[in-house]
């Protein structure tokens, strides 16, 4: 008699016990993934509209583009949700025998090494999703193919669907092993759900604390920063969502993210194997299998809940914020500790569980809350010493984000949209002395009142390579100090480039006043008016002027530039009172009437025009 049973035989035997999982997976993917997708593709094929921002492309191209978009976006989203739900079901029901003593006897008495059983069950759980997903993708691809085969989208579709399928596999595996880990740390279903939640969401909560709670207690913390997002990506579920984002928006510059995610998945798989091998059979039906893990989880959940509820109380209270944040923290700690104790001990009788652990959790929560209240040891006031700095980068986040043409975002792109132009992530290294003085002033002005303010992100680039981020408010009291930003080469380079783009010769130009009287300009008039506008713009190029325009918005006229015959999108150039040259030109040379309107606007859409 040999005990060397092949992996395939075990996989086959175990699949027979769980036929419903692959069946459910196949049916779900075929129904949601294919039938709904086919209907949508059918609708897209019969649509008569086409994209108004590119009138030169053929109708076939638009349809192909629609199909492409459905295949790589809608389909990807549906498949991604199925992958995550599938990962949960497969993980839970491949290993849930560990929650039942009789089943544990049955499995662990079998002459199979635990490594082999783990491998068989894990691979099975993966294949239950993978095989139907692959078939679904192949079918979807062939549904799309007839529509895109004659266009440039054929190659793109093949590439995108392959990349996205790979991303889906990674997404599935990450969530799958996170859930397996949750199962292996638990002895019953309720604690599994708790553990899965903790494993998956612990770092999300830390992320929330960083982005939300920290901002509640501090004034200069950064909400959106690559490093924080990366930090959040270490947690499987948000990581999967992050990965999903990579799949949705493309792999550009995100390979590192994928690699980190793969590494985390591998680590989780290895830990799962270790836990499975060393799990005591007698722990089935218990709340928590590993006491130390239970204790660590309990403290983590308690402290995080305390901080979150403390900050919530702080946010909701009108006065005595410090007091209420402490009350909230203590309440949160007791509630969370009791809840987790009940879950892990599978009993509500002794809801305070281990008293020493309870006291430790409460103390840690209280200390953390006090740290927050006391300003995180001067977090808001901290600026690195000047001699340690290599440079200072200032990222003005909002200048005139009012639908005009000077939007500064933070995702590294400059682009058109229907509201105008957006400039993003203008990485401006300002002169060190001026930048440092500005930072000091911004710190000093943290609690000042002001008529208006905008915020900016400052990155202190240290000589040792470290970067420190802070977010400050620029107030009207020191607005002139921001000119060091505007005069920085990096800013000018980007700003002027965009400014120039505004003056690309448009196909048509209209002017409108506040009474909606307007005029359609001739080519000569348009050239002259835009020349005046550019001149005015240059003469008012300072932070103070820009901010004033933003806050004291009192446009006399607006120029509308159209770049195609559809009349949309257009670029809107507001003309404030101080743009004297432009105003003078309009008033002296143009006659605004209530009948004039864009010759292009809504040309093809009479119903909308009406």
Binding interface with other proteins (CB under 8 A): 1-5, 9-10, 12-13, 16-17, 100, 102-106, 108-114, 280-282
Q: Rank residues 17 and 467 by Cβ distance to other proteins and give the closer one.
A: 17
**Cis peptide, bond prior to residue 569, ω within 30 of zero:** yes
Q: In whole angstroms, give the CA distance from residue 174 to residue 266.
A: 8
- The separation between CA 119 and the C-alpha centre of its own chain, rounded to angstroms, equals 34
C-alpha distance from residue 111 to each of 15, 33, 117, 275, 452 (Å):
18, 40, 10, 19, 75
Measured from the CB of residue 116, what is the shortest distance to other proteins in angstroms? Answer: 8
Closest alpha carbon to 192 in 203, 180, 201, 204: 180
Q: Rank residues 112 and 430 by Cβ distance to other proteins and give the closer one.
A: 112
H or E element at residue 318: none
Q: Are 474 and 454 in contact (CB under 8 A)?
A: yes
Measured from the CB of residue 112, what is the shortest distance to other proteins in angstroms? Answer: 6
Q: Are 351 and 342 in contact (CB under 8 A)?
A: yes
List, in sequence order, every residue forming a beta bridge with 455; answer none if it has no partner. Answer: 473
Q: Rank residues 59 and 280 by Cβ distance to other proteins and give the closer one.
A: 280
Measured from the CB of residue 279, what is the shortest distance to other proteins in angstroms? Answer: 10
Q: Are 556 and 573 in contact (CB under 8 A)?
A: no
Q: In whole angstroms, give the CA distance from residue 604 to residue 257.
A: 45
Q: Rank residues 96 and 525 by Cβ distance to other proteins and give the closer one.
A: 96
The per-residue DSSP string of 104-132 comes to HHHHHTSS--HHHHHHHHHHHHHHHHHHH
Measured from the CB of residue 9, what is the shortest distance to other proteins in angstroms? Answer: 5
Measured from the CB of residue 361, what is the shortest distance to other proteins in angstroms? Answer: 22
Measured from the CB of residue 124, what is the shortest distance to other proteins in angstroms? Answer: 14
Q: Are 170 and 194 in contact (CB under 8 A)?
A: no
Q: Rank residues 277 and 467 by Cβ distance to other proteins and give the closer one.
A: 277
Q: Rank residues 345 and 422 by Cβ distance to other proteins and give the closer one.
A: 345
Strand order in the sheet with 414-417: 407-409, 420-424, 414-417
Measured from the CB of residue 119, what is the shortest distance to other proteins in angstroms? Answer: 14
The tokens for 217 are: 């207690």
Q: Rank residues 107 and 585 by Cβ distance to other proteins and give the closer one.
A: 107
Measured from the CB of residue 17, what is the shortest distance to other proteins in angstroms? Answer: 6
The tokens for 271 are: 């830990």
DSSP letter, residue 469: E
Q: Rank residues 125 and 435 by Cβ distance to other proteins and give the closer one.
A: 125
Q: Which residues contact 149 (CB under 8 A, 6 or more apart)?
A: none
C-alpha distance from residue 317 to each of 23, 215, 284, 333 (Å):
52, 16, 45, 19
Q: Rank residues 114 and 540 by Cβ distance to other proteins and give the closer one.
A: 114
Measured from the CB of residue 97, what is the shortest distance to other proteins in angstroms? Answer: 9
Q: Rank residues 97 and 478 by Cβ distance to other proteins and give the closer one.
A: 97
CA dihedral 193, 198, 199, 204 (to 10 degrees): 130
């Amino acid at each position: 008699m040999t005990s060397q049973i092949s992996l395939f035989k075990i996989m086959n035997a175990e699949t027979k016990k769980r036929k419903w999982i692959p069946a459910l997976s196949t049916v779900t993917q075929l129904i949601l993934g294919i039938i709904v997708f086919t209907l949508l593709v059918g609708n897209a094929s019969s649509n008569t509209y086409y994209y108004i921002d590119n009138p030169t492309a053929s109708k076939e191209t638009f349809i192909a583009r629609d199909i492409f978009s459905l295949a790589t976006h809608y389909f990807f989203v549906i498949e991604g949700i199925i992958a995550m739900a599938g990962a949960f079901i497969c993980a839970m029901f491949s290993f849930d025998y560990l929650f039942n003593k009789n089943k544990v006897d049955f499995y662990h008495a079998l002459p199979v090494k635990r490594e082999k059983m783990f491998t068989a069950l894990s691979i099975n759980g993966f294949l239950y999703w993978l095989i139907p997903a692959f078939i679904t993708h192949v079918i979807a691809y062939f549904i799309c193919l007839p529509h895109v085969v004659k266009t440039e989208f054929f190659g793109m579709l093949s590439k995108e669907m392959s990349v996205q399928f790979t991303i889906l596999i990674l997404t599935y595996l990450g969530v799958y092993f996170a859930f397996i880990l949750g199962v292996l740390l638990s002895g019953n279903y309720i604690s599994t759900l708790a553990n899965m939640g903790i494993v998956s969401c612990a770092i999300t909560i830390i992320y929330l604390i960083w982005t939300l709670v920290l901002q509640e207690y501090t004034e200069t913390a950064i909400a959106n920063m690559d490093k924080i997002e990366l930090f959040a990506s270490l947690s499987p579920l948000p990581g999967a969502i992050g990965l999903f984002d990579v799949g949705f928006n493309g792999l550009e510059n995100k390979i590192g993210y994928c690699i980190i995610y793969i590494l985390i998945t591998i680590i989780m798989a290895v830990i799962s194997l270790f836990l499975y091998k060393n799990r005591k059979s007698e722990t089935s039906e218990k709340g928590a299998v590993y006491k130390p893990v239970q204790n660590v989880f309990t403290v983590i959940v308690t402290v995080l809940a305390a901080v979150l509820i403390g900050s919530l109380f702080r946010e909701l209270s009108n006065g005595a914020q410090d007091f209420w944040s402490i009350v909230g923290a203590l309440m949160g700690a007791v509630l969370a500790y009791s809840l987790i104790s009940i879950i892990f001990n599978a009993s509500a009788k002794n809801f305070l569980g281990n008293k020493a652990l309870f006291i430790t959790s409460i103390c840690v929560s209280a200390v953390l809350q006090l740290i927050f209240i006391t300003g995180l040891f001067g977090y808001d006031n901290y600026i690195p010493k000047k001699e340690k700095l290599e440079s200072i980068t200032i990222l003005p986040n909002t200048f005139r984000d009012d639908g005009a043409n000077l939007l500064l975002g933070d995702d590294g792109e400059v682009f058109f949209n229907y509201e105008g132009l957006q400039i993003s992530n203008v990485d401006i290294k300002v002169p060190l002395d001026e930048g440092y003085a500005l930072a000091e002033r911004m710190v000093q002005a943290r609690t000042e009142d002001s008529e208006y303010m905008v915020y900016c992100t400052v990155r202190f680039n240290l000589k040792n390579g470290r970067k420190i981020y802070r977010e400050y408010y620029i107030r009207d009291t020191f607005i002139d100090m921001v000119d060091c930003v505007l005069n920085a080469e990096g800013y000018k380079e980007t700003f002027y480039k965009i400014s120039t783009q505004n003056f690309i010769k448009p196909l048509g130009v209209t002017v409108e006043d506040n009474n909606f009287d307007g005029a359609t300009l001739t080519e000569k008039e348009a050239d002259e008016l835009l020349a005046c506008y550019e001149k005015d713009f240059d003469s008012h190029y300072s932070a103070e002027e820009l901010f004033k325009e933003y806050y004291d918005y009192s446009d006399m006229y607006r120029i509308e530039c159209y770049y195609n015959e559809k009349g949309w999108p257009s670029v809107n150039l507001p003309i404030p009172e101080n743009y004297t040259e432009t105003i003078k030109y309009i008033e002296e040379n143009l006659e605004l009437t209530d009948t004039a309107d864009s010759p292009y606007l809504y040309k093809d859409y009479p119903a909308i025009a009406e």
